[in-house]
Structure 1
Amino acid sequence: MDKKSFKGIQVGVLGLARSGIAAANLAYSLGARVLVSEARTRQQCSKVLPELKKGIDTEFGGHSRSLLNSALIVKSPGIPHHIPILKELHKRNIPVIGEIELAARIIHPKRLIAITGTNGKTTTTTLVGKLFKNSGQSTIVGGNIGAPLAAQTGKISRKTNVVLEISSYQLEDSPQFRPHICSILNITPDHLEHHGSMKNYIDAKALIFRNQTKKDYCILNYDDIYCRKLAARCPGTVIFFSRKTVLKKGVFYRDNNFIVKLPGSTYRLPAELKIPGMHNIENALASIAMAAIAGIKPSVIRKTLSAFPGVEHRIEFSGAPNGVTYINDSKGTNVDSTVVALRSFPAPIWLILGGRDKGAP
């Protein structure tokens, strides 16, 4: 599907969240007639309505059968697949995709890089973006962090690297998505209330590489049993990273060094990180692998790693009143990420937590 194919067709957009607004505006700018359908009331959406381009049609309080006249539906990732209107759309073979898929179909970047996993996605995506920017290359970062990809298509040329954080929800709605470089950082129980089982969750993560060829690269965590098993299913060229194992080929951690062993590229870098925790060693290893494959110089990688401050709400230092250190890890939204954060600090810890188990055992 190219830009010209949108001219005159109706595109239905389900949901008026950030990604829905971006998708609606993009489709409209390409010449489509756009109907945004939102379950909430107009009043509940009043603050974001001005962000829609003039000329886009809207409906509120539910999803009408007008959506059945659409040639394409773009669904917000949080909307479950089992709602009645989606069942009806599927019966009629009307394609339903996500905002990232919509944008990816019309851009032609230098490289499309996508990062998923249960934990570490945002940190790794941000770090990879820094590595490419610090190497002097035009780079945008988006997807599940920052601005939606559909809102950034005008900035993307054939010289631009696109680095995306992508969730299992978004992958389910991206049937043609093909990153040149992708990574699955780890897989532990999460979002099982949505996926229904651990198997379904793993299968959703594996969608990131389903359209790859041997000309593409998939970076997998050798220490994670689920990731290691996925290597056999991946049609791309698999590169492993490991914090615990010395690899014959790949990127691994040994004696406080990051060691790169890839075809035509063998070197070691001191493991100098500002961000604490062994999980961030793993995030760094995955980032190094992606940078090395793209030909970024070791000197740039080392300098970027040593200066990287991390991202907010992830083991973020918040102050030390009366000598007590406070750490904000509010983005640790599953059991494993919380355990990993606790292991990052040797001192006695008071833990304040709450939330839902999201179906985890």
Structure 2
Amino acid sequence: MSKYKGKKVLIVGFGLSGVAVARYMAKQGAKVTVTDMKQKSELADSVNACAELKIEYELGKFNPLTFRAAELIVVSPGVPLSTKPLDEAREANIPITSEVELAASALKEPLIAITGTNGKTTTTTLIGEMFKADDKPVYVGGNIGKPLIDHISDGSRVDAVVAELSSFQLELTEKLVPAVAVFTNIEEDHLDRYPDMNGYIEAKKKLLKACDKNSYVVLNYDNANVAKFAQETSGKVMWFTKQDPLKIGGEFAENFYGCYFRAADKQVIAKVTGKEEIYDVSQLRIFGDHNKENLMAAICTARAMGVSPKAIQHVINNFKGVAHRLEFVRRKDGVYFFNDSKGTNVMSVQRSLGAFTSNPIILIAGGKDKNMDFAPLVPYVQQRCKVLILLGEAKEKINRAIGDFSETYLVGTFEEAVLLAYQKSRSGDIILLSPGCSSFDMFRNYEERGDYFKKLVTQL
């Protein structure tokens, strides 16, 4: 008998994660109530996905009495834990958990968990593809769009579960113990959710604290916030870096364990299994230094988990990237269009601009501000941007920070932005959508924003 049978379970937030938990709990025999601040009309897809199940709904508001009546509360990642009814439930000692924690507690397979500010999805996808290329069954999910609880529901067995985990998903982590924990990088982000940068880092460190002495901890040596984690874990640290360990010197070079990039030879050198392995990256289709970091993190992880070098090399040669991440859309009249809608913070815009070394760039940026400081973009805009086109709620703030360093236009719609960018372009130019902001002022998510950009570009 399920331990949830007959239990009063309240699900807070009814997006992708909330729907998955509702379906799982209903099938376990729980008495499920779903609550969300959105109206039923805004949640039609979610409600329809659970139409055949016996579920109570309280939509459009949070009722404190419902929270206090629950025996278990499952919070979706989009709901801040500071929400008042959740505070009251904690005071009443009502258990509060997350979809990720529920799934992790039921997992029978090794968990590979990937977090960071940028690069999570690409790294997660690369690891999954490496397993598949080696004929190793794998479940790839988490923040990438497939809830982990769905894997528990379907009962399938795999060699590993590869999970992208956001800071929001990690906030309620207590029992999760990863076989591998990957930290791609940590830079300023989500300051509309956290009081300061330290609060954001502490959320990420939940994954670090979840590791035990048998966990592999894959860290980015070139990212100061992540490199510090080596002193705070009992796990087996593996490094990835764009620098030659011999040039870094000292104990780091003597005891190097992980991957580094040898730029002159277009190679990744891996020291993971006790002997040096060389991977040719001359055919790598994803570009930019950040993608070299993502690749090295994936190689470290895959080799630690027994994926063959042959399978890894196959993925290096054939991986085409992930949609909305420096995604090439089309070439028209000699102008190149790239969709980087997933570029939702300042660091991601820096990396995207830095990925193009010579062509003049027309940058389309803006959206819903996450309380970010856009001033660090100044040197990138000065060096790389021919024209800057700003839109969305944050356009005035971005303009004040960087508008004086390029020919800058503020527009009201996406249609205006794309048309103006094309009008200002010349053969050889790059038109890049890399917003540096979330999408929620104009779109449901970054995918919808990126798809709309691609649609407008194809209609030119």
Give the TM-score taking structure 1 as reference length: 0.95
Task: Trace 1:97-246 onto structure 2 (pairs within 5 A).
Answer: 97-109=97-109, 111-246=110-245
Q: Which amino acid aligns with 1:182?
A: A
The match for 1:276 is 287
Give yes or no for the alignment of 1:333 onto 2:341.
no
Question: The residue matched to 1:122 in structure 2 has which SS?
Answer: helix
State the distance in 2 between where 1:245 and 1:88 align.
52
Stretch deviating more after TM superposition (99-108 or 149-158): 149-158
| Residue ranges of structure 1 left out of the alignment (5+ in a row) | none
Write the distance in 2 (CA, Å) between the matches of 1:32 and 1:130: 36
SS at match of 2:279: strand
Distance, in Å, in 2 between the alignment partners of 1:214 and 1:91 is 34
Of 18, 27, 30, the match for 1:29: 27
Quote the offset at 1:263 in angstroms: 4.3
> How many Å separate the matches in 2 of 1:235 and 1:200?
22
d(CA) in 1 for partners of 2:156, 2:121? 24
Match of 1:299 in 2: 310
AA of the residue aligned to 1:27: M
Counterpart code for 1:208: L
Hey, what does 1:252 align to over in structure 2? 260
* CA RMSD, 1 decimal: 1.5
Shift in Å, 1:265? 4.0
Post-superposition offset of 1:308: 0.3
SS of corresponding position for 1:162: strand
- For residue 330 of structure 2, what is the amino acid of its counterpart? G
Deviation for aligned residue 1:290 = 0.2
Establish whether residue 308 from structure 1 lines up as the match of residue 319 from structure 2.
Answer: yes
| Alpha-carbon separation, structure 1, partners of 2:240 and 2:227 | 10
Partner of 2:17: 19
Amino acid at match of 1:326: F
Which residue type is aligned with residue 44 of structure 1? Answer: E
Runs of 4+ in 1 over 6 A off after TM superposition: none
Q: CA deviation at 1:158?
A: 4.8
Q: Distance in 2 between matches of 1:311 and 1:91?
A: 43
| Paired positions, count | 358
Identity across aligned pairs (percent)?
Answer: 38
- The code of the aligned residue for 2:97 comes to I
**Separation of aligned partners in 2, 1:339 and 1:179:** 31
In structure 2, do the counterparts of structure 1 residues 242 and 6 end up closer, same or farther at CA, with 3 Å as the change threshold? same
Contact 1:115 1:183 in 2 (8 A): yes
Q: Counterpart of 2:145 in structure 1: which amino acid?
A: G
Q: CA deviation at 1:146?
A: 2.5
The AA in structure 1 aligned to 2:76 is S
What runs of 5+ residues in structure 2 fail to find an aligned partner? 246-252, 374-460
> Whose radius of gyration is greater, 1 or 2?
2
**Worse-matched range after superposition: 99-108 or 128-137:** 99-108
> Which amino acid letter does the alignment assign opposite residue 186 of structure 1?
N
- More off after superposition, 211-220 vs 279-288: 211-220
Highest RCO, 1 vs 2 (Cα 8 Å, sep ≥ 6): 1
